[in-house]
Structure formats: structure tokens, C-alpha cells
């Protein structure tokens, strides 16, 4: 039986799958995300490939049509709208379940051939806080970590993430790592008690939206206890004094936690070199989501615990290729390869590489717009 390597389309882990036409599904033992593991959703993928209720050929006006006719019709309608109302009269909405290559071509068509930036993706409603936080901290939307860091960390802090339910294979990897290394610690920061809490050594039932105060408090604690990596800060970080000054006037009562809980967590974080802070939708889906992201990133930047094995801030996304879509520029306010629409040199570089007749000159409409 021939098995095809593919990717599970569900959560943000992006597990490797071996699939056959008869519905046989196996985890790919060589895939670096899951090493053969699959959760219940991935294991049941074979049940989704039946033909019942599926559209197996194009239909126009309820009638079966050829691919040539359907594609010509779509192209004609797009061209007519553009000719009559301009390039910005059309738009694409993409999904984090697309393959990177598909994402890339859709983005190239819209921005380089239609010449509008009216393409947006699930990242807008899912990960936009992380995108903005990453750009504010690093200048680019980049996640500075790998799955291997989870096994190498001595402390894993989960913030706003029910990993056991939402990213089960990553949760399994952490559970296996803890079983193999009894000295490894984990913390769960969540107002609720969830299945993820069962793995945690400490559970901090933070007040809703108390995350900024919690991590600002951590930054102030790190400053007070001289836990910064001065060499790293001098070489790679700016604005730290302002961040610390802001953190020092944060009201820790906003966390809803006791002084003992805060001191215990802060001392554990400060005293553990290899720390990975995993955050997900409980951080992102908030009116202060970007500030939450930066409060977390600031602590890693100040201590130099970033970009090295077993340490760093780790944004866990909602769909399996949300990051891939951002890499190829699938959001309305960016170009491929994390380049900026507003930068004329960046626009010229992308258009030259694409050899395209046009290039978008300004950000397009975002998903909600």
C-alpha cells in the first residue's frame, strides 16, 4: 500500500501524516512536529475523505461546468470589476490550512498581478496580537523557538493555553519530556482549571486580563534581583530602561494573585536559565493582547533567554500553517518574506523577483474591513 506524506489540517502543530486513498492514516515518524504521534482528530482524518456531499466538479448557476469555463468566468468577473471599479474592488480571504505554496501563489496573484493588497488570512483574527508584538519587539514577525526547545527546557510556562485540548501532540511531548526528566518544571497561568493544569507543578489562577501586570511584575523583579543578562542587553536590546520604569509602577493587584504566589513564580522563573514561555489564544484574543505579548517578550529579552536551545517565548498558533501564510506575506499589511509594503525598496525587490506587472503600493483591507 502506497502512503503519501501530508500534513494534518487541524490545529497549529501541523503534524506529519502518512495517508492512503483507502482512508488509512498513520503519524509520520520522521516529521519533526509529531514524530509519529497523532491526536484523536488527526487519527480520524481517514473518516473525512469519503465523497458524499462533496463538490467533485465546478458548477455555475447550479449546473455542471468545465474547469476552463469556470476559470474563464472567474477571471472575466474579476477583470470586469477591476476595469470598472479599480484594483481594490476585489479581495481574497485565505486560510491557515493552505499549504505554503498555495498561500504564496494567492498572495503573488493579488499583490503582484492584480496590484492590490486586499488579501488577508486567519492570522488577522487569530494571531494578530502576536504579529504586532513580534514586529514591535524584533522588527519582524518571527517566532524565535522550535519544538525541540520543549524537550530541552527546565521550566515551561503555559499562558492562556489549554494545550492538552488545543494542541494535544505538543502537550504529549511535554508530558513525555517531564516523565524522562523529573527535575523539569511546568507552570499553568489560566483563570480556569483545565486538563492542561494536571501536568503543571504550579497553577496560577490569574484574574482575566491580568497577564500584562504579571509579566511586568516579573520584569521589575528581574531588575531588582539583578537577573538581567547585561552582555546580551548591551549587544541586542534597546529601550529596556523605559520598559523597567513602566513595569515598576504596575499594580500587581491586577493579577488577582497573592504576594506568595507571585514571589514563588518570579523566583522560579528568575532562577531557571532554560525557560520556554508558551502562550496562545488566552493572550492573543484580548483588547490588550499585543501588550501581553510584549510583556512576555521583554522578560526573555532582558535575560537573554531567547534564540538558544531550551529557552524563549513561543507563540502557539491556531491553524497548522498560520505562520507559513505570514512568512509569504499573506496579511494585508505585509509583503512576502516579512518585507514592508510601505518601503519602496522592499516593494521593488519583491516586484523584481516576481517579474510582475504591478505591486501593491499601500496596505489593503484587513479581514474585518
- Asked whether residue 6 carries a pLDDT value surpassing 80, the answer given is yes
Residue 64: inside a domain, yes or no?
no
Bigger pLDDT: 49 vs 14: 14
Give me the pLDDT at residue 323, please.
Answer: 81
Which residues sit opposite 326 in a β-bridge?
A: none
CA angle, residues 356, 361, 364, in degrees to nearest 5: 105
Residues 146 and 204 in one domain: yes
- Asked whether residue 1 carries a pLDDT value surpassing 80, the answer given is no
Contacts of 250 (CB under 8 A, 6+ apart): 212, 213, 216, 217, 220
pLDDT digits (tens, 9 = 90+) for 230-252: 999 999 999 999 999 999 999 99
H/E stretch holding 111 reads none
Residue 235: inside a domain, yes or no?
yes
Q: At what angle do helices 211-224 and 259-270 cross, to 10 degrees?
A: 60
What is the C-alpha separation between 235 and 309, in angstroms, rounded? 19
Q: pTM of the prediction?
A: 0.89
Give yes or no for a contact between 268 and 185, defined as CB atoms under 8 angstroms apart: yes
Rounded to the nearest 10 degrees, how much is the dihedral formed by the CA atoms of 165, 169, 175, 178? -140
Residues 108 and 211 in one domain: no
Residues 236 and 219 in one domain: yes
Residue 58: inside a domain, yes or no?
no
Residues 85 and 154 in one domain: no
What is the C-alpha separation between 311 and 272, in angstroms, rounded? 10
Share of the chain above pLDDT 90, in %: 83
Give me the pLDDT at residue 229, please.
Answer: 98
State the CATH number of the domain containing residue 179: 3.40.228.10
Residue 70: inside a domain, yes or no?
no
Residue 71: inside a domain, yes or no?
no
Helix/strand/coil percentages in the chain, nearest 5: 45, 10, 40
State the CATH number of the domain containing residue 42: 2.20.25.90
Which of 150-159, 282-291, 317-326 is the most confident on average?
Answer: 150-159
Range of the structural domain that residue 35 is part of: 4-48
Give me the pLDDT at residue 354, please.
Answer: 97
In a 13 Å sphere around the CA of 280, the CA atoms on its Cβ side amount to 23
Mean pLDDT value across residues 169-187: 96
Residues 14 and 118 in one domain: no
Residues 134 and 123 in one domain: no
Q: How many CB atoms lie within 10 A of CB 1?
A: 6
Which of 4-18, 91-105, 210-224 is the most confident on average?
Answer: 210-224
Residue 66: inside a domain, yes or no?
no
State the CATH number of the domain containing residue 113: 3.40.50.740
Mean pLDDT value across residues 265-278: 98
Residues 86 and 102 in one domain: yes
Residue 205: inside a domain, yes or no?
yes
Residues 225 and 292 in one domain: yes
Residues 290 and 181 in one domain: yes
pLDDT digits (tens, 9 = 90+) for 275-310: 999 999 999 988 899 999 999 999 999 999 999 999
Rounded to the nearest 10 degrees, how much is the dihedral formed by the CA atoms of 264, 270, 274, 276? 70
Residues 290 and 170 in one domain: yes
Q: How many domains does the chain have?
A: 3
Residues 98 and 190 in one domain: no
Residues 187 and 309 in one domain: yes
Mean pLDDT value across residues 317-329: 84
Using 50, 70 and 90 to split pLDDT, how confident is the model at 126?
confident
Residue 170: inside a domain, yes or no?
yes
Amino acid at each position: 500500500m502506497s502512503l503519501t506524506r501530508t500534513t494534518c489540517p487541524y490545529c497549529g502543530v501541523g503534524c506529519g501524516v502518512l495517508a492512503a486513498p483507502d482512508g488509512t492514516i498513520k503519524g509520520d515518524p520522521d516529521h519533526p512536529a509529531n514524530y509519529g504521534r497523532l491526536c484523536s482528530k488527526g487519527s480520524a482524518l481517514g473518516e473525512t475523505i469519503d465523497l458524499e456531499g462533496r463538490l467533485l466538479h465546478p458548477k455555475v448557476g447550479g449546473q455542471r461546468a468545465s474547469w476552463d469555463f469556470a476559470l474563464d468566468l472567474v477571471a472575466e468577473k474579476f477583470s470586469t470589476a477591476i476595469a470598472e471599479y479599480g484594483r481594490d474592488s476585489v479581495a481574497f480571504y485565505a486560510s491557515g490550512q493552505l499549504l505554503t505554496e498555495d498561500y504564496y501563489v494567492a498572495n503573488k496573484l493579488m499583490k503582484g498581478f492584480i496590484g492590490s493588497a486586499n488579501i488577508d488570512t486567519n492570522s488577522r483574527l487569530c494571531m494578530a496580537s502576536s504579529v504586532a508584538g513580534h514586529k514591535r519587539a524584533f522588527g519582524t514577525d518571527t517566532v524565535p523557538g522550535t519544538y525541540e526547545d520543549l524537550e530541552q527546557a527546565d521550566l515551561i510556562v503555559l499562558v492562556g493555553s489549554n494545550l492538552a485540548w488545543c494542541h494535544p501532540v505538543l502537550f504529549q511531548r511535554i508530558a513525555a519530556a517531564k516523565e524522562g526528566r523529573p527535575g523539569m518544571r511546568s507552570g499553568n497561568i489560566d483563570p480556569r482549571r483545565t486538563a492542561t493544569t494536571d501536568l503543571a507543578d504550579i497553577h496560577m489562577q490569574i484574574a482575566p486580563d491580568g497577564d500584562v501586570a504579571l509579566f511586568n511584575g516579573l520584569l521589575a523583579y528581574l531588575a531588582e534581583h539583578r537577573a538581567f543578562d547585561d552582555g546580551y542587553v548591551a549587544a541586542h536590546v534597546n529601550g529596556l530602561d523605559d520598559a523597567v520604569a513602566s513595569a515598576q509602577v504596575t499594580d500587581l493587584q491586577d493579577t488577582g494573585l497573592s504576594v506568595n504566589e507571585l514571589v514563588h513564580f518570579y523566583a522560579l522563573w528568575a532562577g531557571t536559565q532554560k525557560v520556554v514561555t508558551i502562550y496562545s489564544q488566552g493572550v492573543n484574543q484580548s483588547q490588550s493582547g499585543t501588550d501581553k505579548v510584549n510583556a512576555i517578550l521583554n522578560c526573555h529579552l532582558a535575560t537573554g533567554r531567547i534564540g538558544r536551545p531550551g529557552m524563549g517565548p513561543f507563540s502557539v498558533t491556531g491553524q497548522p500553517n498560520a505562520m507559513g501564510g505570514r512568512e509569504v506575506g499573506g496579511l494585508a499589511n505585509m509583503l512576502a518574506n516579512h518585507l514592508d509594503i510601505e518601503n519602496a525598496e522592499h516593494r521593488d525587490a519583491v516586484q523584481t523577483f516576481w517579474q510582475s506587472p504591478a505591486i501593491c503600493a499601500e496596505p489593503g483591507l484587513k479581514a474585518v474591513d
